[in-house]
Amino acid sequence: MAPRNDKFDFDFIVIGSGFGGSVAALRLVEKGYRVAVMEMGRRWTPDSFPRTSWSIHRWFWRPRLGLRGFFNMRFFRHATIYHGCAVGGGSITYASTLLPAPEKVWDAGSWTGLAAWKAEMPRYYQTASRMLGVTQNKILGPADVLLQKAAEAAGHGQTFYRTSVGIFQPDEGVPGNKTFPDPFFGGDGPPRTTCTACGGCMMGCRYGAKSTLDLTYLYLAEKHGARVFPETKVMNVKPLAGVSDGSAGYEICTVKSTAWICRQPQHLICRGVVFSASSLGTMELLFRLKDNGSLPAISDRLGRHVRTNSESLIGARMPGCHEDFSQGIAIGSGIYIDEHTHVEAVRYPGGSDSMSLLTTIMTDGRPGVHRIGLWLKNVLGSLLFHPVKTVRLLRPWGWAREHVILLCMQAVEGHIEMRWERPWFWPFRKMLVSRGNKVPTYIPRANEFARKFAQVAGGTAMSTLPEILFDVPGTAHCIGGCVIAGSPDRGVVDDRHRVFGYRNMYICDGSVLGANLGVNPSLTITALAERAMSFIPLASATSWSDAA
Ligand SMILES: Cc1cc2nc3c(=O)[nH]c(=O)nc-3n(C[C@H](O)[C@H](O)[C@H](O)COP(=O)(O)OP(=O)(O)OC[C@H]3O[C@@H](n4cnc5c(N)ncnc54)[C@H](O)[C@@H]3O)c2cc1C
Ligand code: SF4
C-alpha cells in the first residue's frame, strides 16, 4: 500500500469508468494506490436494461430531461457523436467488437516516432485481449451470411472475416444462456453466462455474456479496493495549496449527476488525477478548467485533431423478408472493400426499432442542396409509384428484424477541431462547438457496395437522415482532441499519457489517439492505457513527481 497520508482522501482519482478509466483503476490499485473512480453514469445490472430502444428513458442519457439511460447522442455541425455513459463507460452499450489497429496507424499522426509502437503494442494488445476475453465470433447470423454473399458478388469475398469479440460464447451448435463460474480470471472474476445470439449487445446484455468493464477490469479493481462513485460528475479539478503544477496534489469537486435541485457537492483531495472521461468528456472538462483558470497550463492544442474514424452509417432494408436479421451478435462480421475501407454488418435486437426514425432511402451525389433535392425526388417518386413498398420501407415497426446497418470506416486522414465557445444559437454559456473542414459523409464505394448488398438480399439501400439533410456523418467512434505528441505545441500528453504542464496528471481514454484507426477503437484505447499504466511506479516507490 502507498504510505498512508491522511491529508489526502485518495492517492489517485480517475474521472470516468470507460476503457481507459477501468484499466487505470485496476492497474493503480494493483500497484498499491488508494483509488477512487468518479462516474457520472448509473450502475446497470442485466435485469435493469431496457427491453427495447423504445424505452427511451432507460436507454438515453439526458438527466436534465429525466432520461437516465446509458447511451447519448451529441449533435455538432461536423458530426453526430454517439457515446456511452455508465459505470463501465461505453462498454455497456458497445457492440464488443475488439480489433487491433493496423500497424500503419503508428506511422501516421502526432504519435509517429515517439515510441517503438510496432514493437511495444502487441504485448499490450495481448493483455487487453485476455482481460476482455476476446475470441473469434462463432455465431454467424443471417446478416453476416448476407454480408458474405454480397462481398462475394462484389468481388471482395476473400476479405470476409468473423469479428473478434469480447463475448462469452457457447461452443458452435450449443444453445446459450448457461452460467459458468468465472471462465476468465482463475476464479477472481464473476460467473458468466453464454451468449444467446439475441443481437441486443448495444441495448445492454441482459445475460452477462458480453465482456463489459463492470465484469472485467472494473470488477477486479473494486474487488481489490478501488471505490467507484456512480452518478457523480466531476465539475472542477484544481491544484492544491496554490502550487500551480499540481505537485502538492489536486482538489476534485463533484456533483450528483442525476439530481436536479439538491446536487450534493463534494470536495475530495488526491495526489494524482487520471482523466478518462472519453474523447468528448475529457475535452469538455479540460476546456472548462482551462477557461475558468483551474488548469490554465493545459496545451493550446486541446480540441485539435478530433477524428470520427471517417465513418458512414448506411445499410439495407428487406421488408417482408422471412429471415430475422436481428439475430446474431451486434457486429458479427466484416469485409474490406478496398485497402482503406472497412465495412461491418451491424444489428439491433428485435423490437428495438427507434433508430429507424433516422434512416431513409439512400441518395448519392455531392452533399448539399443538390443531394437534398435528389433525395426528396426519390422519396416522393417512390411514394407516388410504389406507395405500399415505400411505406413498408420507412415504417418504424419491424425495422430491427428487416434492416442491416453497414458501418463503414476508413483509415484515412481527416479531422475536425473542437472549441470552447458561445454558439450563436445559445450565447448564454460556452460549450463545445466543432470547427474545420467537413468530414466526407459520402463514400461512393461504400454506397455502391450497399446497393449490391440490397440487390443480393432483395431489399433497398438505406442511409441516414443527418448525413443526407445536413451533410453530417454519424460516428460511435469519436477519438482524439488531447492527442499524444512530443511537445505541448503539438499535443496535450506525452507518449506515457502525462499531461504537459502538470505533475501526476494523466489522460487514459480515446482522446489521446493520434490517428484514425479504421477499426473500432476500444481495444486500442485499452492497450494504450495498459501501456501508460505500466510506467507508473509502485506506490511504495513513488516520489509523486511524475511529469512529461
Ligand atoms: C452504440 C455504440 C457501439 C459501439 N461499439 C463499439 C465496438 O463494437 N467496438 C469498439 O471498439 N468500440 C465501440 N464503440 C465505441 C466505444 O464505446 C468507445 O470508443 C469507448 O467506450 C471509448 O472509451 P473511453 O475510455 O475513451 O471512454 P468511455 O468508455 O466513453 O467512458 C467515459 C466515461 O466517462 C464518463 N464521464 C464523462 N465525463 C465525466 C465527468 N465530468 N465526470 C464523471 N464521469 C464522466 C462517461 O459517463 C463515461 O462513462 C461503440 C460506441 C457506441 C455508442
Ligand atoms: S447477442 Fe445477446 S446474449 Fe450475446 S452478448 Fe449480445 S446481448 Fe448478450
What tens digit of pLDDT does each residue of 4-29 get?
Answer: 557 899 999 999 999 999 999 999 99
Residue nearest to atom 2 of ligand 2 (CA): 198
**Of all atoms in ligand 2, which is nearest to the CA of residue 200?**
7
Residue 358 has pLDDT above 60, yes or no: yes
Q: Which residues pair with 361 in a beta bridge?
A: 462
- The alpha carbon of 325 is separated from its chain's Cα centroid by a whole number of angstroms, namely 24
- Pick the catalytic residue: 83, 156, 477, 497? 477
pLDDT tens across 246-267, in order? 999 999 999 999 998 888 999 9
497 is catalytic: no
Which residues have C-beta within 8 Å of that of residue 369, sequence separation ≥ 6?
A: none
Ligand 2 neighbourhood includes 139 CB (under 6 angstroms): no
Ligand 1 neighbourhood includes 289 CB (under 6 angstroms): no
% of the chain exceeding 70 in pLDDT: 98
Q: Where are the beta strands (DSSP E) in 411-465?
A: 417-421, 431-435, 460-464
CA–CA gap between residue 82 and residue 75 (Å, rounded): 9
For the CA atoms of 188, 193, 199, 200, the dihedral, rounded to the nearest 10 degrees, stands at -70
Residue 144 has pLDDT above 80, yes or no: yes
H or E segment to which residue 180 belongs: strand 179-180
- What is the best residue among 49, 477, 526 to mutate for testing ligand 1's pocket, by most ligand atoms within 8 Å of CB? 477
Q: How confident is the model at residue 1 (pLDDT cuts 50, 70, 90)?
A: very low
Instruction: Tell me what pLDDT residue 118 has.
Output: 97
Ligand 1 neighbourhood includes 83 CB (under 6 angstroms): yes
Cβ atoms of 431 and 420 within 8 Å: the answer is: yes
Residue nearest to atom 8 of ligand 2 (CA): 205
**Please, what is the angle between helix 444-457 and helix 142-153, to 10°?**
110
Centre of ligand 2 from the C-alpha of residue 50, in Å: 14
The number of the ligand nearest the C-alpha atom of 82 reads: 1
CA–CA gap between residue 375 and residue 383 (Å, rounded): 12
Centre of ligand 2 from the C-alpha of residue 422, in Å: 42
254-261 own/partner pairs: CB under 8 Å, 24+ apart: 254/38, 254/229, 256/231, 256/232, 257/40, 257/41, 257/63, 257/231, 257/232, 257/233, 258/42, 258/63, 258/68, 258/231, 260/64
Q: How confident is the model at residue 366 (pLDDT cuts 50, 70, 90)?
A: confident
Mean pLDDT, rounded, of the chain: 93
Cβ atoms of 533 and 23 within 8 Å: the answer is: yes
Grid coordinates belonging to 444 = 461512393
Instruction: Tell me what pLDDT residue 436 has.
Output: 86
Instruction: Tell me what pLDDT residue 197 has.
Output: 95
Predicted TM-score (pTM) of the model is 0.94
Instruction: Tell me what pLDDT residue 299 has.
Output: 98
Mean pLDDT over 490-518 rounds to 96
Centre of ligand 2 from the C-alpha of residue 201, in Å: 5
Ligand 2 neighbourhood includes 250 CB (under 6 angstroms): no
Instruction: Tell me what pLDDT residue 2 has.
Output: 45
Centre of ligand 2 from the C-alpha of residue 351, in Å: 15
Grid coordinates belonging to 218 = 472494473
Least trusted range by pLDDT, from 26-35, 269-278, 365-374, 460-469:
365-374
Ligand 1 neighbourhood includes 41 CB (under 6 angstroms): yes
Grid coordinates belonging to 408 = 463503414
CA–CA gap between residue 448 and residue 462 (Å, rounded): 11
Cβ atoms of 402 and 318 within 8 Å: the answer is: yes
Instruction: Tell me what pLDDT residue 4 has.
Output: 55
- The alpha carbon of 10 is separated from its chain's Cα centroid by a whole number of angstroms, namely 28
